[in-house]
Each structure stands twice: as structure tokens, then as C-alpha cells.
Amino acid sequence: MHVRETPSLWENPYSATTSWKPCADRKSSWVPPAENETNGYLAVHAEGGLNQQRIAICNVVAVAKIMNVTLIIPLMKQDQIWKDQTRFEDVFDVDLFINYLKDDVRIVKEIPSWFTEKAELYTSIRQTVKNIPKYASAQFYLDNVLPRIKEKRIMALKPFVDRLGYDNVPPEINMLRCKVNYHALKFLPEVEEMADVLIARMRNRTGILHPYMALHLRFEKGMVGLSFCDFVGNRHEKAMMAAYRKKGMASTLQEWFTSMATSTAKR
């Protein structure tokens, strides 16, 4: 059975976006970090799935810039369900990541040798900052995190999911996030080759000039609840999801609504 497509289905509904330019391409007025001048070292546990970890990596680079600290290559937290042992260097090109950002942030591959309690860095209360609110401002880090880094010389942020805002940081910080996301974070050749194989298979079935749609099969309660997707379930399923959102996500939703209200007011 042939289904006719709506002509505008694959068209961009927001024509103004065609004139947008990548903010990562803009020139920054920042001076490259001076050699051997740093306020300390920053470590982070990138949590969640790969997409959440990607966001965390972009954010922690920005946070390191805000505080003028040296960033240790992020640790990819092991998933409690899948027991995935994947490391940063198993997915991304570490050398490119460090070199691409060398004029913005100092990044090192390992915890400095003078710090002997490496096993406790992400678990010790003395070495971790755990009270960072979601969508925190740049000033929050300067007032609450930087003093502890200067005191201890090295600190870890945990948890670190959505811990940096967008409307309460300097524009150049958001430019840096884009630079990390679209340029510095590059998959290893073998990962890109696999992606090319999958794309080629889809295009071979539809024709190289035709669009295709990718489907992310992550139909989980948390994802459906947080994204407010309507999966057209029955009455019982909808009631169950409503109860889940009300009970388990009240604080998350309140933070989200507060962030949106602040953003709208600034606009």
C-alpha cells in the first residue's frame, strides 16, 4: 500500500533558521590559558546514556573555563543495568579533544601524579561536590565550587547531569559548548565507519536523494515520563504514567518550569 506524503513533511517549518550561523565559528575574545597557571583540577563522572554523557562533557568543559581550572578527561560512569565498561577513549578521539580545545581549556588525560588517593576521588566526601543544583549559574560555580578546588587542589563533581544553565552564563560559554559538541567531540574512526555502513544501508533502500528517519528504541518509563511523550496507551497505562510523573518527577518538573520561566522573562 502506497501512502502519499504531505509535501511539507520533510521541510523545515522555521525558514528563519536557514540563515543561522554556527556559534562555534565565531571569534572569541578569550586569551588562551597561560602555561602552568591553573586554579586546580576538575574531575567529573559523566552519567546516564551516551547522549546524557555527551551533554555532561560539553558542560564540564564550560565549567572548567568558567573557573579557570584544568579538566581531567571525564570518566564515563558504568551503567548499573548494562554494566557497560566503555571509557571516554573507547568512543571519542582523546588527542583531538585535547588539542582542539587547547586555546580554551587545559585538559589532561590522567589524574595528576601528586594526588595519591586516586581511588577515592569520586567517592570521598572531602574531594567531591554534591550540592550543585540543576541549571546552576556561572556565578554559582565561582562562589561555591572554585573556593573548594583552590583549597583541595582537585575536586570531583557528582552527580553532574544538567548542572549548568544556558540563560545564566556568558554567551561565550554557550559558544564553547557548541565548539565541544560539534567539533571537539569526534568519534573514533571505527565508530564512524559503523555509522557510515548503517546510513549507506538506509540510503540504498530509499535512494541517495531521499530522506530517511532514524528511530531511537528507548521506550522506558523514565524517558517517556520526562519527555512527556504521548504513547497513546489505554486508560490504565495513562493513569499509571500520570502517577509516576507526579510522584517521582515533581522536583525535576519544578526545576524545569522554573528554568523555562526565567528564560522567558529574560527574553
Q: Of 20-24, 113-117, 157-161, 212-216, which gets the smallest average pLDDT?
A: 212-216
pLDDT for the residue 218: 66
Cell numbers found for residue 23: 556559534
Asked if pLDDT for residue 95 goes beyond 60, the answer is yes
Mean pLDDT over 45-49 rounds to 84
Question: What residues does 155 pair with on adjacent strands?
Answer: 42
State which H helix or E strand residue 101 sits in: none
Asked if residue 187 has pLDDT above 90, the reply is yes
List pLDDT tens digits, range 147-182.
999 999 999 998 888 899 999 999 999 999 999 999
pTM, two decimal places? 0.78
Using the predicted structure, report yes or no on whether residue 58 has a pLDDT greater than 80.
yes
Please report, for the chain, the start and end positions of each structural domain, with discontinuous segments joined by +.
23-186, 221-266
Grid cell locating 262 = 526565567
Residues ≥6 apart with Cβ < 8 Å to 176: 28, 61, 62, 65, 104, 105
pLDDT digits (tens, 9 = 90+) for 110-146: 999 999 888 788 888 889 998 899 899 999 999 999 9
CB 150 within 8 A of CB 67: no
Q: Which residue spans within 123-214 are E strands per DSSP?
A: 128-129, 154-157
If pLDDT is split at 50, 70 and 90, which confidence band does 206 have? confident
Whether the predicted pLDDT of 6 surpasses 70: no
- Give the C-alpha separation, 69 to 260, whole Å: 30
State the CATH class of domain 23-186. Answer: alpha beta
Which pLDDT score is estimated for 179?
A: 94
Joined grid coordinates for residue 261: 520561566
Q: Look at residue 30 in the predicted model and tell me its pLDDT.
A: 73
Compute the C-alpha angle 238/242/244, nearest 5°: 115
- CA-based max dimension of the chain: 69
